[in-house]
Amino acid sequence: MPYYFMDSTYFLFILPALILGMVAQFMVKNRFQKYSKIRAGSGYTGEAAATRILRENQLHDVRVEQTPGSLTDHYSPKEKVLRLSDATFASPSIAAIGVAAHEAGHAVQDATGYLPNKIRAALVPVAQIGSSAGPYLAIFGLFIQSTTGDLLFNIGIILYFFALLFYLVTLPVEFDASRRAIASLDQSGMLSSEELKGAKKVLNAAALTYVASALTAVLSLLRLILLSRNRRR
């Protein structure tokens, strides 16, 4: 996400969100590494945990595959593929099982037509344009002292607003996937009550990264609007 140029509004609106984002990233890596070293008593691997949750929800058409990297885990609704990173796929750790269950939760959301998930999927095309082109159009419009500049600014703001909606609707999607993950792991006994606490810490840290992204998007939009008002004075 571009941050345009630095002025007083940058330090007021953007810097705090960037700091929160860095803290969130540090927490995710720290907690994942910590609980990656603790083996779950059940002996389940990330792949086995995800597969069990999928089968218990009758999702026989979803494949579980290994993908390179660490924390690159994701679910692809178009391909019906749940991809687990090298650090998750074959690991029997608390962290791996928690992350795998979270991604399986996204597959369940897709299969059950979870509304926020459907809204997020619909927003993807325009959100991608909005996040990449919207801020630049708005800033470019600010430097043009004419009705054309106002038009460009307004178009940029509208485009970026759809990106903001995407970030905001992502929050309930991610929180719900984690809720489903913890419930599944608890009911199935794949993690004990004490082990669940560790999995929750990993998933809560991951959720904070989405909160930071949403906050950055909100503050970026407010900053653009403030810059526009200052220009018109």
pLDDT bucket at 232, cuts 50 / 70 / 90: low
Q: CA-to-CA distance for 54 and 46, rounded, in angstroms?
A: 12
The 10s digit of each residue's pLDDT in 93-106 is: 999 999 999 999 99
Give pLDDT, residue 3: 47
CA distance 72 to 200: 19
pLDDT at 4 over 70: no
5 has a pLDDT exceeding 70 = no
Higher pLDDT residue, 80 or 222? Answer: 80
Predicted pLDDT at 69: 94
- In this prediction, residue 2 carries a pLDDT of 45
Q: How confident is the model at residue 228 (pLDDT cuts 50, 70, 90)?
A: confident
pLDDT, residue 7, reads 62
pLDDT in tens, 7-33: 667 777 778 888 988 999 999 999 999
pLDDT band at 215 (very low <50, low <70, confident <90, very high): very high
Cα separation of 187 and 206, whole Å? 22
Which of residues 53 and 4 earns the better pLDDT score?
53
Residues 47, 56, 103, 194: which is the catalytic one? 103
Would the pLDDT of 233 be above 70? no
Quick one: pLDDT at residue 225?
85
Question: What confidence tens digit (pLDDT) does each residue in 113-160 have?
Answer: 999 999 999 999 999 999 889 888 888 887 887 788 889 888 999 999
Residue position matching structure tokens 């919207």: 134
Model confidence over 168-212: pLDDT tens digits?
A: 999 999 999 999 999 999 999 999 999 999 999 999 999 999 999
Annotated catalytic, 56? no
Q: What is the pLDDT of residue 12?
A: 75
Residue 71 has what pLDDT? 93
- pLDDT number for residue 41: 97
Mean pLDDT of 208-228: 89
Helix/strand/coil (H, E, C) string of the chain? Answer: CCCCCCCHHHHHHHHHHHHHHHHHHHHHHHHHHHHHCCECCCCCCHHHHHHHHHHHCCCCCCEEEEECCCCCCEEECCCCEEEEEHHHHCCCEHHHHHHHHHHHHHHHHHHHCCHHHHHHHHHHHHHHHHHHHHHHHHHHHHCCCCHHHHHHHHHHHHHHHHHHHHHHHHHHHHHHHHHHHHHHHHHHCCCCHHHHHHHHHHHHHHHHHHHHHHHHHHHHHHHHHHHHHHHHC
